[in-house]
Chain A
């Protein structure tokens, strides 16, 4: 497991060590794109772009899907981990918020009890 993680990390770092590949990730962060689009944007040959996308794909940073004659690239499964991390941060925010709400609710309960006693008198 540890080895798997570190080899994957190596693959990610290798994939990210190239300025074009980092540019491709930024581009795909904005919208999915075909290899042809990407080759055009980065002014390189289709073959050159295919190689870059291949490296990103191996690192799990990008996935591709061929529909008809067009291969579309999108950000890869690594995004799921980002999402899990985001949901956890979101949960922590609400948890902290609700701890505050708990305190307010407890005070209101106390107050109701005291007021209730006063009324009964």
Chain B
């Protein structure tokens, strides 16, 4: 979109940015060195999507991936290491504009799910990608993970302090 967003010429790797745009929105961006039709294909063809959606470092695999990429069409992703206990993610496509724009619902969490919109802006053979998640409320966004850190941190402190109490009283 603008010069600041171009890749770092030294590493040749484009930068990923994340911004909490508002109480209900999170936006992720990155530029890819390829035309939009190629990047779009990687988002809409299951055999390609499966290859990158789960980073290798995550230690989990995408067991299945079905996507009916058209307005109203459904998608379903199953993650896990054991097919019997897979975690499902599913929803419907709300918008499909080839090589330009995709939007879908995230329905696995009930009413609190975000609407994800991905735009593909091509400029000079490169594609600027914007992934926008809009949650129904601030609480829903935070329940999706951002405040998980808080109880977790408190639990850790609790454990630590519990240990301190025990050693102080002995």
List A residues at the B interface (Cβ < 8 Å). 13, 16-17, 22, 25-26, 29, 75, 79, 82-83, 85-88, 90-91, 93-106, 108-109, 112
Q: Are A91 and B38 in contact (CB under 8 A)?
A: no
Q: Are A29 and B33 in contact (CB under 8 A)?
A: no
A-B contact pairs, 9 of them (CB 8 A): A16-B154, A25-B154, A86-B145, A90-B145, A94-B131, A99-B55, A102-B32, A103-B52, A108-B41
List B residues at the A interface (Cβ < 8 Å). 13-14, 16-18, 20, 26, 28, 30, 32-34, 38-39, 41-42, 48, 51-58, 131, 145-151, 153-154, 157-158, 161, 164-165
Q: Are A83 and B146 in contact (CB under 8 A)?
A: yes
Chain A hits for B151, CB < 8 A: 26, 29
Pick from A25, A95, A97, A112: contact of B38, CB below 8 A: A112
Chain B hits for A86, CB < 8 A: 145-149
Chain B binding surface, main DSSP class: helix
Q: How far is the CB of B39 from chain A (nearest CB, A)?
A: 6
Pick from A22, A85, A104: contact of B51, CB below 8 A: A104
Q: Are B28 and A105 in contact (CB under 8 A)?
A: no
Chain A binding surface, main DSSP class: helix
In the complex, number of A-B residue pairs with CB atoms less than 8 Å apart: 107
CA distance A29 to B150 in the complex (A): 8
Pick from B48, B57, B153, B165: contact of A82, CB below 8 A: B153
CA distance A86 to B20 in the complex (A): 11
Pick from B18, B55, B57, B150: contact of A91, CB below 8 A: B18
CA distance A104 to B165 in the complex (A): 53
Q: How far is the CB of B156 from chain A (nearest CB, A)?
A: 11
Chain B hits for A26, CB < 8 A: 151, 154
Q: How far is the CB of A105 from chain B (nearest CB, A)?
A: 5
Chain A hits for B13, CB < 8 A: 99, 102
CA distance A54 to B146 in the complex (A): 27
Q: Are A75 and B52 in contact (CB under 8 A)?
A: no
Q: A83-B146, A86-B149 are in contact. Are A101 and B18 (CB under 8 A)?
A: no
Q: A94-B30, A108-B38 are in contact. List 11 more A-B contacts (CB 8 A).
A: A16-B158, A17-B161, A17-B164, A26-B151, A29-B151, A75-B150, A90-B26, A93-B55, A98-B52, A100-B56, A101-B52
Q: Are A104 and B16 in contact (CB under 8 A)?
A: no
CA distance A79 to B55 in the complex (A): 28
Q: Are B17 and A109 in contact (CB under 8 A)?
A: no
Chain B hits for A91, CB < 8 A: 16-18, 28
Q: Are B51 and A100 in contact (CB under 8 A)?
A: yes
Q: A86-B149, A90-B26 are in contact. Are A109 and B38 (CB under 8 A)?
A: yes
CA distance A111 to B34 in the complex (A): 12
CA distance A90 to B28 in the complex (A): 9
